[in-house]
A and B are shown apart, each in its own frame.
Chain A
Amino acid sequence: MTGLGAGWRNLRRHPLRSALSIAGIAVASAMLLDMVLLSGGIERSFERLLLGRGFQIRISPKGTLPFDTEATLSNADRVVAALRADPDVAQAGGMLGASLYARTRDSLATLFGYGVDPAAQSLYTLLRGRDLTAGDTTGILLSEPAARAIHAALGDTVRIAGRLDPQMAHAGVNRPLAVRGIVRWLYDYRGQRSVGLTLLLMQRITDPAGGAAGGAAEARASAIVVRVRDGASVPAVAARLRARFPRLEVNSVAQLVEEFRGRLTYFRQLAYILGAISLLVAVLLIGTLLTITVNERLGEIATLRAIGVSRAHVVRQVLGEGATLTLLGGALGVLLGVVTAHYLDGILTSFPGLPAAISFFVPEPHALARAGIALVLAGSLAGLYPAWLAAAAPIAATLRAEAP
């Protein structure tokens, strides 16, 4: 009989205690799995989001991260032109974010406006209709929530207002724009009302100096995205751009993920602590159950040893029982863990202002493997003491003590 077979047979002798132990290990394993997913899930999710459109470098005003503040880059067109001339840069484009207003029948709806370079944008994917083209100053892209808020559909004309002056009760700019497409903004939170215009139009509408009045608008951008040419090293290009533009903040996606990681230290540490506690609970449960079982069966073990059964066989039986407990509890724990991870993810992704595409619990094969290995190691560790107890039991003394 294999170790696992013997373990299963021994567990069936005490169904209630075995069931309780398996339930305990299942809950602990579920918690361990969830914490392993949480410990690195959000970083992977964030990284995928940033790299979703293939741009590996972000440039923002010095001391800020993209869209973290209202600060903007001035002379962004010159920076973009310089970047495009760089031999290691495949693509570069600016983007500008600011509040815009849409006129509805009886009021103004507040929207978040993105100014984009349609040929080099990392902010949206087109759902319906068609994309903006370079130089399009009469078109607009809407998110689903924005379309609902202003009751607009593809082909409709919407009136967009900018540069509101509350004291004069006057909008500096009013523009009729045709809805070209419905898009999904990658960084929007749930229900965010966002619209997209070409960068040039957005600069005109929001230019505080009144560029729309006739003169050229200031070439402002909230951030610039850069796609590095195939074969070029992203960190090397980022370092070179940082040296070339010392008054700008140049970050590769890896650096942004590292910054994001710093902001979420609390969750990562909580995951490590709770994961460790889960493992400890599993070890204690398995260890306690096996120790008591071995103590109860000392007479049986001594008899087996007396008729020639080897120590190694006894040890295998005890370790097999521990492994059976771990496997059964772990299998149940995976199912429970997937359900609880989904539930916990639902709670955490309701953070205000968090992009809807972000997930905190990301199932990754290597994370699942890590949790499985940790659990198996913990189960084995827990079985060592009772196995030693069983192997070291003195045969004669035990048989005398157990005699009727």
Chain B
Amino acid sequence: MTAAAQLPGVAVERSLAQDLGLRVGDTLRLGPTPDSLRMHAVVAAVYEPAADPSTITRRERHLRLHLPALARLLGAPDRVDRFGVALDSGVTPARAAALLNRAAFGFRAYPSAQIASESSETFLVVSRFHRAIAVITTAAGAVFLLCIMLLKVEERRLDAAVMRFVGVRRRTIFAALLIEAAAIAVLGSLVGVAFAYVAGAATNAYYRRFFDTTLTFSLVTPGIVAFGVALSLALGLGAGAIAAWRLVRTRPLVLWGRG
């Protein structure tokens, strides 16, 4: 058996291996502080960690050791930060955690669901922030759309006047303007969806490279597309109806500019 084979093996995170130029088989000196690098270990594996949003901004670098090797390195045998407990079927995690906590001294038991909920709190905050920003941008977009639709329909004053002069009914003109508004809203929202896909792909490409992760940052779901198109259609129809109603109520001569 070679000397290297007797050394404890460590698994090194891919980004750390890249930073330090490590490859499988290389030997490392490890220690709990910079001035106590006393333990020799051999790189047994290089691994890609599961993408975790909570760590991407911290730029931490990890390596994994077997628990006894880590305990020896830290000089703290038989100590752990935390451990998991598998329950018999029929025992609820909340009840088991409550029982353990009543008997516990110096540790606290949590059901996994609670840990998941608490550790996702950061993302809930980010999600709430994104939703609030989305409400503001939707309000800005809605006003913009209303304004544009109003101007677009008002551009048709002369056409509406001519139609009224040749005997086209108000209801027909109203319906024609409304259909035009709906068509513009749907076409605009489809262009918007295409733009969202492109922008989302660019966002993902940029942040995946920036944070060196496989996480997805922007996701255009069918639900979001449906919401966007429906909102755009509703706003377009609403604005078109208001503008068309104002137009058909106006006397043809006024529309023609001679009233």
Contacts and interface: CB of A to CB of B under 8 A. Distances in A.
Interface of A: 16-17, 20-21, 23-24, 27-28, 30-31, 34, 61-63, 71, 74, 108, 110, 164-166, 169-171, 208, 247, 262-266, 270, 274, 277-278, 281, 284-285, 288-289, 292, 340, 343-344, 347-348, 350-352, 404
A217 to B, nearest CB: 17
Interface of B: 33-35, 57-59, 76, 104-108, 118, 121-122, 125, 128-129, 132-133, 136-137, 139-141, 143-144, 146-148, 150-151, 154-155, 207, 210, 246, 258
A27 B143 contact: yes
Contacts of A62: 33-34
Contacts of A264: 57
A13 to B, nearest CB: 12
Contacts of A344: 129, 132-133
B158 to A, nearest CB: 11
A264 B133 CA distance: 17
Given A24-B144, A27-B139, A27-B140, A348 B150 contact: no
Contacts of A292: 151, 154-155
Given A278-B140, A281-B140, A285-B144, A17 B154 contact: yes
A103 to B, nearest CB: 12
Given A17-B154, A344-B129, A352-B122, A24 B143 contact: yes
Nearest to B146: A20
Given A285-B147, A347-B128, 18 more contacts: A16-B150, A24-B140, A62-B33, A62-B34, A74-B33, A166-B105, A166-B106, A262-B59, A281-B140, A281-B141, A281-B144, A288-B151, A289-B147, A340-B132, A344-B129, A344-B133, A352-B118, A352-B121
Tell me whether chain B's interface is mostly helix, strand or loop, or mixed. helix
Contacts of B57: 262-266
8 contacts: A16-B150, A20-B146, A24-B143, A27-B139, A61-B33, A289-B147, A292-B151, A343-B132
Given A166-B105, A247-B35, A263-B58, A348 B125 contact: yes
B144 A274 contact: no
B140 A351 contact: no
A17 B140 CA distance: 15
Nearest to A165: B106
Contacts of B148: 288
B187 to A, nearest CB: 17
Given A344-B133, A347-B125, A404 B144 contact: no
Nearest to A161: B106
A171 B105 CA distance: 9
Contacts of A265: 57, 210
A351 B128 CA distance: 11
B34 A20 contact: no
B13 to A, nearest CB: 15
B132 A347 contact: yes
A350 B88 CA distance: 37
Contact of B137 (A20, A31, A247, A266): A31
A350 B125 contact: yes
Contacts of B137: 31, 274, 277
Contacts of A277: 137
Contacts of A16: 150, 246
